[in-house]
Structure 1
Amino acid sequence: MDWATALATYVIIWWLVMFMVLPWGVRRIEPEDLREGDDPGAPANPRMLIKVAVTTVVAGMFFGLFYLVIISGVISFRV
């Protein structure tokens, strides 16, 4: 696997994991904390930095597993 394929695979895995992690711990803004112009469905504290860190670690583990499977020859894309 060359570096471009590895990078593209990691980016795809990263985004898939990010979309799985995004809903974790989301709480809506309490009605008494709403100000004019706030969306009532918006998250009160999205904690995106934590979600990005978790996504990076989990995507790294999934990519490592994927890389080991490809390198070991268990799954081959060569015909």
Structure 2
Amino acid sequence: MLAIYVLFWAFSVFLVLPWGVRTTREAGGDYIAGQAESAPHEFRLGRLALRVTIVATALFALFVANYEFGWVTPKMLDLFDREAVYNRG
């Protein structure tokens, strides 16, 4: 379960990374020579890690609840009815 949680955490980084990002122009700061206009003004690793942990924990909780209660099963997602194909012979 820990390995699956780590995968959820790593995926959540990409979901959370763009939240609340402000460029130097939006923040009213001065550009540094060679800085891209789209670069974030400040990068706060602690805040990012906290947000990612919250999102990953919520998604992982839904994953575990689905595993326990069977809300969505692989058979529900089988759009091509593979079981019928294998049973034909």
Alignment coverage as a number of residue pairs: 72
Unaligned runs of 5+ in 2: 75-89
1:3 matched residue in structure 2:
none
| Counterpart selection for 2:35 from 22, 34, 38 | 38
2:10 and 2:70 map into 1 onto residues whose CA distance is: 26
TM-score (normalised: structure 1):
0.70
State the percentage of identical aligned residues: 35
Q: What is the RMSD computed on CA atoms of the aligned residues?
A: 2.2
Note the C-alpha offset of 1:34.
0.9
1:12 matched residue in structure 2:
7
Moved more, 51-60 or 68-77: 68-77
Unaligned runs of 5+ in 1: 1-5
2:58 and 2:29 map into 1 onto residues whose CA distance is: 41
Relative to structure 1, the CA distance from residue 73 to residue 40 in structure 2 (aligned partners, 3 Å threshold; closer, same or farther) is closer
TM-score (normalised: structure 2):
0.64
Q: SS where residue 33 of structure 1 aligns? A: coil
| Counterpart selection for 1:26 from 13, 17, 21 | 21
Runs (4+) of structure 1 exceeding 4 A deviation are 73-77
The question of 1:70 aligning with 2:67 is answered: yes
| Counterpart selection for 1:55 from 48, 52, 65 | 52
